[in-house]
């Protein structure tokens, strides 16, 4: 009797195990799209290079200031993170004291197929980064279609920003095309790096793989006449060109409109940003028809310093909407003057204006994310035919930040209609070559370098960013507290402000 009961228990247990495995397999199939995130906690997936993806520690990505070009026209701080992408074939993240990650579609190494592998390495570049062997003896191996080579690289961002890095170069090929990624840290030779640093490099390099990423799909640019009909006409664009410098990576992700006409308005994107004085087409929501219309905007001038403060004080006095208040600590007010044209609209729809980084996302500067409110001022508004002129909007900008993007209108649709915002590149020539203060120059001096303990992507261990991000969190917290104190003061202005 006891033996029969034991056999019955074993049979029931076996059935339960079978059923359980079925449910587990079903759950794995249904959640396969989330599997990647589970395998890489603490990491951000990069899909900016079409055809491949890879993961970088989120703390590094989140601290990076987006840039549109790399040349001798721009000054970089060696202890800050910067990110560059052109949406078609290149991605770069670098901090000259910590880390560099460079990925490109269309390289020409082909080390695995080469009869002289070292020659192929020495005579091919990735985004104008040139390599030598990273160990005493040349080391390269190919496994599962990925060729890994230990390398050294003398990286010259521009003539004032350069350094020696060591790391790994990975190459993968498909259909006659090659993709490559280099992950490196400051050093003289790979085999002299601490094992923790080697592990940190591997955590990124081992995620490099083919994917269905399309990069950033390029948008065609159109123009509309301000005097004729409102039909859109396609216009030609050309890549931004600047004087070549052998000591610079010489990169730019901006395209310029050919034959720009002040009697026309143009569409734009983060890769085709407009300048002050250009007429831009944007999407604004029509509350009456619950649909989108396309007014035209023309930002004309940016006021800074005492000029900006004076304009804001004048508005506060003239309207008595609220009392003047200072910009948050470490930031200064900037005021943008602009005109609006509603000739192609049924109503004067609200135009949302936001402060953004040069990638069209939240502005990040010196490791801190800034998502500040913008405040509108219409006390000097005048009408001039189809135009409403002398409109102003103000917002806080981090001290020392010499370029950013202003996004006008809506880029996300609530109705399924195709919409687009107007993007303007705001550039402060006076700040470009200014020297950082001692505090700014040492801001991230104690931030953690990349190591195997930074985040274990392949083992599922979360990245501990406490040391690397505590200062940013403290400053952001202080800013948030500062904003809370002002809520009562600016409550009257909130109806006419953009988040």
Specify the DSSP class assigned to residue 456.
Answer: B
Residue 202 sits in the same domain as residue 240: no
Distance, in Å, from the CA atom of 157 to the CA atom of 82, rounded to the nearest integer, reads 11
Distance, in Å, from the CA atom of 89 to the CA atom of 345, rounded to the nearest integer, reads 38
Residue 254 sits in the same domain as residue 153: no
Q: What share of the chain is helix, strand, coil (3-state, %, to 5)?
A: 25, 35, 40
Helix boundaries (H) for 86-214: 117-122, 195-205
pLDDT value at position 448? 61
pLDDT value at position 460? 39
Number of domains, the chain: 2
Task: Give a yes or no: residue 445 inside a domain.
Answer: no
180 neighbors 130 (Cβ within 8 angstroms): no
Residue 249 sits in the same domain as residue 372: yes
486-to-114, 254, 362, 368, 481 alpha-carbon distances in Å: 65, 38, 22, 21, 9
Task: Give a yes or no: residue 309 inside a domain.
Answer: yes
Task: Give a yes or no: residue 454 inside a domain.
Answer: no
Q: Domain range spanning residue 201? A: 43-210
Element (H, E) at 481: helix 466-490
299 neighbors 351 (Cβ within 8 angstroms): no
Of the three residues 167, 183, 210, the one that is the final residue of a domain is 210
Taking phi over 0 as left and psi of -120 to 50 as alpha, with beta for the rest, 320 belongs to left
Task: Give a yes or no: residue 95 inside a domain.
Answer: yes
pLDDT value at position 8? 57
Distance, in Å, from the CA atom of 135 to the CA atom of 482, rounded to the nearest integer, reads 52
The HSE-up count of residue 4 (CA atoms within 13 Å, CB side) is: 1
Within 8 A by CB and 6+ apart from 34, the residues are: none
pLDDT value at position 474? 41
Distance, in Å, from the CA atom of 234 to the CA atom of 318, rounded to the nearest integer, reads 44
Helix boundaries (H) for 49-174: 58-63, 117-122
Distance, in Å, from the CA atom of 120 to the CA atom of 452, rounded to the nearest integer, reads 30
Task: Give a yes or no: residue 484 inside a domain.
Answer: no
pLDDT value at position 242? 64
Task: Give a yes or no: residue 369 inside a domain.
Answer: yes
Residue 182 sits in the same domain as residue 328: no
Distance, in Å, from the CA atom of 447 to the CA atom of 466, rounded to the nearest integer, reads 9
Residue 312 sits in the same domain as residue 408: yes
295 neighbors 342 (Cβ within 8 angstroms): yes
Residue 340 sits in the same domain as residue 398: yes
Residue 229 sits in the same domain as residue 205: no
pLDDT value at position 216? 82
Of the three residues 378, 397, 432, the one that is the final residue of a domain is 432
Residues constituting the chain: 499
pTM of the model: 0.81
Q: Pick from 343, 472, 499, 330: which is nearest to 410 by CA?
A: 499
Low-confidence spans in the chain with pLDDT less than 50: 16, 18-37, 433-435, 437-446, 455-497, 499
Residue 423 sits in the same domain as residue 360: yes
List, for residues 358-398, the tens digit of each pLDDT value: 999 999 999 999 988 999 999 999 999 999 999 999 999 99
Residue 243 sits in the same domain as residue 171: no
Of the three residues 149, 176, 210, the one that is the final residue of a domain is 210
87 neighbors 216 (Cβ within 8 angstroms): yes
Q: In CATH, what number is assigned to the domain containing residue 182? A: 3.40.1000
Residue 145 sits in the same domain as residue 275: no
Residue 139 sits in the same domain as residue 250: no
Task: Give a yes or no: residue 427 inside a domain.
Answer: yes
Residue 170 sits in the same domain as residue 94: yes
Q: Pick from 306, 251, 297, 242: which is nearest to 275 by CA?
A: 297
Neighbour count for residue 419 (Cβ, 10 Å): 18
Task: Give a yes or no: residue 252 inside a domain.
Answer: yes
pLDDT value at position 457? 43
What does the buried/exposed string (b/e) look like for 95-132 if buried means 16 or more CB atoms within 10 Å of the residue's CB?
A: bbbbbbbbbbbebebebbeeeebeebbeebebbebbbe
């Amino acid at each position: 009797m006891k033996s029969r009961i034991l056999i019955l228990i074993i049979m029931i247990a076996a059935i339960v195990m079978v059923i359980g495995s079925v449910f587990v397999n079903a759950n794995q199939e249904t959640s396969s799209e989330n599997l990647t995130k589970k395998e890489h906690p603490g990491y951000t997936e990069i899909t900016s290079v079409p055809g491949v993806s890879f993961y970088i520690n989120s703390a590094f990505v989140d601290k990076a200031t987006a840039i549109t070009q790399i040349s001798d026209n721009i000054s970089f701080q060696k202890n800050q993170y910067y990110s560059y992408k052109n949406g078609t074939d290149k991605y770069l993240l670098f901090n000259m004291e910590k880390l560099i990650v460079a990925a490109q579609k269309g390289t020409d190494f082909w080390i695995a197929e080469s009869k002289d592998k070292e020659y192929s390495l020495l005579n091919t570049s990735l985004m104008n980064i040139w390599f030598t062997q990273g160990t005493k003896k040349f080391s390269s191996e190919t496994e599962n279609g990925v060729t890994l080579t230990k390398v050294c690289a003398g990286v010259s961002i521009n003539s004032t920003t350069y350094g020696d890095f060591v790391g790994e170069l990975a190459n993968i090929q498909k259909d006659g095309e090659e993709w490559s990624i280099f992950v490196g840290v400051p050093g003289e030779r790979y085999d002299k790096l601490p094992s923790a640093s080697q592990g940190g490099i591997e955590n990124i390099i081992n995620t490099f793989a083919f994917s269905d990423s399309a990069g950033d799909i390029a948008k065609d640019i159109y123009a509309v006449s301000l005097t004729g009909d409102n039909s859109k006409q396609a216009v030609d664009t050309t890549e931004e060109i600047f004087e070549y410098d052998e000591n610079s990576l010489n990169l730019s992700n901006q395209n310029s409109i050919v034959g720009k006409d002040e009697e026309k308005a143009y569409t734009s994107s983060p890769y085709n940003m407009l300048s002050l004085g250009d007429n831009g087409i944007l999407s604004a929501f029509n509350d009456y028809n619950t649909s989108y219309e396309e007014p035209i905007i023309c930002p004309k001038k940016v006021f800074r310093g005492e000029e900006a403060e004076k304009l804001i004080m004048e508005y506060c006095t003239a309207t008595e909407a609220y009392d003047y208040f200072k910009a948050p600590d470490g930031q200064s007010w900037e005021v943008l003057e602009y005109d609006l044209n509603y000739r192609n609209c049924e109503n004067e729809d609200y135009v949302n204006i936001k402060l953004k980084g040069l990638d069209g996302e939240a502005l990040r500067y010196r490791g801190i994310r800034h998502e500040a409110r913008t405040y509108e001022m219409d006390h000097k508004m005048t009408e001039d035919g189809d135009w409403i002129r002398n409109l102003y909007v103000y917002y806080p900008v981090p001290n020392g930040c010499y370029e950013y993007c202003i996004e006008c209108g809506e880029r996300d649709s609530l109705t399924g209609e195709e919409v687009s915002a107007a993007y303007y590149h705001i550039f402060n020539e006076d700040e470009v070559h200014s020297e950082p203060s001692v505090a700014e120059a040492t801001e991230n001096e104690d931030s953690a370098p990349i190591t195997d303990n930074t985040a274990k992507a392949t083992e599922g261990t979360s990245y501990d960013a406490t040391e690397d991000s505590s200062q940013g969190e403290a400053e952001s917290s202080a800013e948030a507290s500062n904003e809370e104190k002002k809520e009562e003061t600016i409550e009257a202005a909130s109806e006419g402000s953009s988040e």
